[in-house]
Amino acid sequence: MSEERIVYVNGNYVPESEATVSVFDRGFLFADAVYEVTAVVGGKLIDFDGHVTRLKRSVAELSMPAEVDEAKLRGIHEELVSRNDIDEGLVYLQLTRGAADRDFLYPDTSTTPTLVLFTQKKAVVENPAAERGMAVVSLPDLRWDRRDIKTVQLLYPSMAKMEAKAQGADDAWLVEDGMVTEATSANAYIVTGDGTIVTRGLSNAILHGITRRAVLALAEEAGLKVEERGFTIDEAKAAREAFVTSASAFVMPVVSIDGAKIGDGSVGPLARRLRGIYLEALAA
């Protein structure tokens, strides 16, 4: 954090040092909150509709009495991008059930949801990791079972990322019942010997990535074969390529798993091509 940003809190645009949320906010006390992260490239919001649609779904799944108004949210995003002069980076949005006296039961619907947004400047397109590729390690998936809801309960992903770093890697791929679910904050893919892109199918076990949906559609348009199914770490280690997708990383190659090289250990051609196709589609 360098210069002071303008952030959004409950209807107001304020300098970050003046932004406050109640200590009774259920986002703070119970992780009773959902979020979205939207990439900005050339000052433009990427896949904004998809993020709002998923936010609506998260809100509905948690019975939050919050109104999700796409036009209003787009306006706030655009205002923050403009006020903070974001050419490339991210907009983070968090919506909580609001402040109420501490109780495990949800408060009655008269509480006002808390809405907070802030921006982060980041080189999302010219990311050096895309040239280098990432090293990942496998770790057990110890998150709760509703990973399809994008809640702010990110402690286990954070612990897993710390463990990956302690092992000299960039990230972790999480494994449940012998199958890879996803990465700590991205969807996971392998490319098999015959060039098929394999990624786990949608269920409560993974977040339904907005970038996943876009990349799979682009892959199919490009005539590539896609299979939505689970895979093991052993299959991944023997794969031709591996990569992840997320709103902040786009398509990001993975070059090793648990110390074993994927393919020849360099960025795979298909991951490179998909990243290119995705970036071209953004620019269009």
Q: Which residues bind ligand PLP (CB under 6 A)?
A: 37, 182, 185-187, 207, 209-212, 245-247
CB of 148 to ligand PLP, least distance (A): 10
Identity of the residue, 211 or 256, whose beta carbon is nearer to ligand PLP in the bound complex: 211
Q: What Cα–Cα distance (Å) separates residue 1 from each residue in 5, 16, 46, 119, 205? A: 9, 10, 23, 11, 34
Alpha-carbon gap, residue 120 to 40, rounded angstroms: 10
Alpha-carbon gap, residue 120 to 203, rounded angstroms: 30
Identity of the residue, 114 or 245, whose beta carbon is nearer to ligand PLP in the bound complex: 245
Partners of 245 in beta bridges: 187, 251
Q: How far is C-alpha 150 from the chain's CA centre?
A: 9
Identity of the residue, 182 or 241, whose beta carbon is nearer to ligand PLP in the bound complex: 182
CB of 211 to ligand PLP, least distance (A): 3
**Closest residue by Cα to residue 211 from 42, 45, 51, 41:** 51
CB of 180 to ligand PLP, least distance (A): 12
For residue 77, what are the contacts with CB-CB under 8 A and spacing of at least 6?
38, 45, 48, 91, 93, 117
CB of 262 to ligand PLP, least distance (A): 20
Alpha-carbon gap, residue 233 to 173, rounded angstroms: 9
Catalytic choice (150, 161, 237, 261) = 150
Alpha-carbon gap, residue 65 to 281, rounded angstroms: 35
Identity of the residue, 114 or 246, whose beta carbon is nearer to ligand PLP in the bound complex: 246
| 72 is annotated as an active-site residue | no
For 19, half-sphere exposure in the C-beta direction (CA atoms, 13 angstrom radius) is: 18
For residue 187, what are the contacts with CB-CB under 8 A and spacing of at least 6?
199, 200, 206, 207, 209, 211, 212, 244, 245, 246
Identity of the residue, 159 or 238, whose beta carbon is nearer to ligand PLP in the bound complex: 159
CB of 91 to ligand PLP, least distance (A): 12
Which residues are marked as active site?
Answer: 150
